[in-house]
Structure 1
């Protein structure tokens, strides 16, 4: 017998959802594709027709000895919807937040990353457990996933205490990270954040600029903790920071959990926004909009931005893509910006990128910095 999952996503989100599903190695037996203007049912997310369709599919597959153990819905679900779906379908219900966190968990290495993921999971689960308690008190459900009402409340209180402890530990780590950043700044190192959508090639660009070999891969979210390295470009020694990839409608729980990596962007002197130029133009425009929205939300204001069109060796429509990006940036970014075409993997366009970086940075000399005690993280 094989365990399989059902995936539910809107048409506009299907590509992203499938990429995430592939990264966490989901075995998808059925895709339910919703219209972009689909209006979710407030209690179940799935309307009665879709709910009946899923139940019928489960009955058919179970009779064939195929186990469906989960349904992944690529939306941010309300706790009420999660609880009602679990009750109705008798299987695990996971939404967009949990899909992202599953990927993060697979790449977590540092203590900070693990704490961030645990915090996000607890933040996500608390309202669901609270809703389960409410229904248990009304007699609609047993205790959370089995135990009685008292045990459920005890579990809820334990989660709240654990969340408070994690936040305290993470705050201490952020203070230490801030002090490290202030030390680098005091030594005169400009900070350049490499940002952008998940799987755009940010870490490959980071490696090309710093001569390092940090892990890369085709799966999304290879980077979940900031990578920091000192490198010499034409005009100065600078600190490059590789950051976690963006994703459309990034849930607040995930933004809070990964504040440490995102704050590196807001505190940087300059940011490079990496886009995958080999993707379809409508997808590039959507991701550019998402990236600018997230930069704004995390406080990257009044600073120059370099848009790096990456993977130009794979693009079939580079001229039109370049025109699209220029038009969008001209209309939507209020401060200085430049566009540079690169292939981080092939090393193309890196000299031009470094030249543009120097144009935006205040002139600095590397004299006196070569003996610094800065270490790569």
Structure 2
């Protein structure tokens, strides 16, 4: 248990923003890793607008009734009383029974990390779709707990537990009906997305997405590579609503999308709720997997592992470029050492500093190398209104490497196979020559 002097000085502020953080650690676990996980909880609390004023830890296997031992929960209750906080946040996932039992002793609101993430998402949701996704995640979280909560409330006659209001036996069915309605609406939006992606492909755009562990610097990289000004803060889950912008790749047309960050041990109900957002990653032509190169190699590996676990079953062979961001914070002599330790988990690595804008040229070159291949051909167009119209269209759909005007318009051209095939179909057989 600890309360810093700085935290004590915050006592004049609203108790509603002040919280106690709790973490149970498995015996014989790595102390550095456990501290890293606790630090992640601190950052999540900060992202939700809370100020931790106390922390409590215990090393033991989980207790079925309280997660921690009963004595430690009594200690937590005393800490709640002495600090006057109204909320306690557990790193560990809590069952309905544990939530109820702990709240009975501590007499304050108890939540776990996943409920905290839902709070953050709810605060960051700005579009109708993202609000639906957050509600779907909340409902998916609640459904398996409803029967247990109803049973507990009937025993204790304590309405309002977990903020769900008065319970009735029909509540579970009401939740499931609402889930079905939201899923249907999101599925309709997914079909619109699929149509939009198909249209963008027909227009010659390659689709690229930024993915990676939350707070790796994706939004800063997005700003650097497309010359945008998307909000980028040193805070978890800054990006919740995907942002898409055109990316200049020297003639290749591409769209880059900034997406929501991953986090360790995301439950299936949360991933499922944000499926339509994550599809921006899964259905890309290329994924830029961003990691923080300034962290310890062990931490980088863990975050890469979390990202790969989220992606691997869904991307179906989509190439990945590992973007090792914040390289300006790493001694150049240590870059090779880092790669020796993480290389097997970091396909096609590129070191960059999004904040300073360094490494962008090398990154774009790597992107071009891994985009779906285009074909090269030589075309002969009639020097007429039809030929000039075709030339204008070809400029829009691909790259014109050389053009000569004479009796006919001769050009060397590069584009997607379907564009070249369409160009041939519009010309008489003798008007076009192709070389692969």
- Distance between the aligned counterparts of 1:147 and 1:350, measured in 2? 48
1:129, 1:144 within 8 Å by CA — same for their partners in 2? no
Q: In the alignment, which of 334, 359, 362 is matched to residue 369 of structure 2?
A: 359
* Unaligned residue ranges in structure 2 (runs of 5+): 1-11, 26-33, 376-393, 399-436
- What is the 5 A alignment of 1:204-283? 204-234=220-250, 236-283=252-299
- Distance between the aligned counterparts of 1:280 and 1:260, measured in 2? 33
Cα drift, residue 274 of structure 1: 0.6
User: Are residues 58 and 19 of structure 1, via their aligned partners in 2, closer, same or farther at CA, if it must alter by over 3 Å?
Assistant: closer
Larger CA deviation: 147-156 vs 318-327? 147-156
Cα drift, residue 144 of structure 1: 4.5
SS of residue paired to 1:218: coil
1:200, 1:274 within 8 Å by CA — same for their partners in 2? yes
User: Which residue number in structure 2 is paired with residue 103 of structure 1?
Assistant: 120
Q: In the alignment, which of 170, 174, 196 is matched to residue 180 of structure 1?
A: 196
Is 2:39 aligned against 1:23?
A: no
Larger CA deviation: 357-366 vs 125-134? 357-366
User: Which residue number in structure 1 is paired with residue 319 of structure 2?
Assistant: 304
Q: Which has the larger radius of gyration?
A: 2
User: Which residue number in structure 2 is paired with residue 375 of structure 1?
Assistant: none
- Distance between the aligned counterparts of 2:162 and 2:200, measured in 1? 52
Is 2:380 aligned against 1:345?
A: no
Is 2:310 aligned against 1:288?
A: no
1:133, 1:143 within 8 Å by CA — same for their partners in 2? no
Is 2:141 aligned against 1:124?
A: yes
User: Are residues 106 and 319 of structure 1, via their aligned partners in 2, closer, same or farther at CA, if it must alter by over 3 Å?
Assistant: farther
Q: Deviations over 1:338-369 (max 9, x none)?
A: 11010112110000000011111234498324
Q: Which runs of 4+ in 1 moved over 6 A?
A: 146-150
User: Are residues 318 and 124 of structure 1, via their aligned partners in 2, closer, same or farther at CA, if it must alter by over 3 Å?
Assistant: farther
User: Are residues 274 and 184 of structure 1, via their aligned partners in 2, closer, same or farther at CA, if it must alter by over 3 Å?
Assistant: same
Larger CA deviation: 158-167 vs 144-153? 144-153
SS of residue paired to 1:192: strand
1:40, 1:46 within 8 Å by CA — same for their partners in 2? yes
1:142, 1:149 within 8 Å by CA — same for their partners in 2? no
Q: In the alignment, which of 51, 57, 63 is matched to residue 33 of structure 1?
A: 57
Cα drift, residue 222 of structure 1: 1.1
Is 2:337 aligned against 1:323?
A: yes
Cα drift, residue 154 of structure 1: 4.6
Instruction: Count how many residue pairs are aligned between Structure 1 and Structure 2.
Output: 356
**Pairwise CA RMSD:** 2.5
**Under a length normalisation based on structure 1, what TM-score does the superposition of the two structures give?**
0.86
SS of residue paired to 1:44: coil
Point out which structure has higher relative CO (alpha carbons under 8 A, 6+ apart): 1
SS of residue paired to 1:166: helix
- Distance between the aligned counterparts of 2:21 and 2:163, measured in 1? 29
* Unaligned residue ranges in structure 1 (runs of 5+): 371-377
1:79, 1:127 within 8 Å by CA — same for their partners in 2? no
SS of residue paired to 1:173: helix
User: Are residues 253 and 149 of structure 1, via their aligned partners in 2, closer, same or farther at CA, if it must alter by over 3 Å?
Assistant: closer
User: Which residue number in structure 1 is paired with residue 64 of structure 2?
Assistant: 42
1:133, 1:149 within 8 Å by CA — same for their partners in 2? no
SS of residue paired to 2:237: coil
- Distance between the aligned counterparts of 1:360 and 1:212, measured in 2? 23
Larger CA deviation: 317-326 vs 142-151? 142-151
Is 2:168 aligned against 1:152?
A: yes
**Under a length normalisation based on structure 2, what TM-score does the superposition of the two structures give?**
0.75
- Distance between the aligned counterparts of 1:324 and 1:295, measured in 2? 23
User: Which residue number in structure 1 is paired with residue 38 of structure 2?
Assistant: 14
